[in-house]
Amino acid sequence: MTELPGNRPSVLFVCTANICRSPMAEGIFKQLLKERTENWEKWKIESAGTWTNRGNSAARKAIDVLADRGIDISSHSSRPINHVPVNRFRLVLAMEAGHKEALQIEFPLVASRTFLLSEMIGEVKNIDDPIGKPLEEFVKTANEIERILVEGYFRIRELVQTS
């Protein structure tokens, strides 16, 4: 039996270092909720990394790309997944298949609530990590994350409400 978190809608985004993809997804989804959801502040939206240290800021290029969209992630601080109460999230969205698999093994209580981000729009693909690449790659990654979150918005809401 799966342990359910509290009544508060909650989504955890997970990538490797929690400095690019998952903080961008967290920021974009929070903005989307503000635009589309009446009680958006009741949602718990966070991010974490499978292989990271605690306290790293978001990558400068990730901060800049989201700032151009009016989203501020400059105060982001990375945290490892083992410092997060994963079982308290209704939905866990991973950026890569390896992340999803590791999360399902390490946190079996949330295995049925753990998906690839791309699965929210019926795809099964990894979101490429732009770290160490030119700014254009960060823009491309942010665009892909935003597209999936916009197109998958109702699927995410459905999963959060019914889990």
Residues with catalytic roles: 15, 21, 129
Dist CA 48 CA 25 (whole Å): 11
Closest CA to 159 of 115, 98, 99, 129: 115
Residue 111 has which token pair? 């295995």
DSSP annotation of 48 reads E
Dist CA 100 CA 153 (whole Å): 20
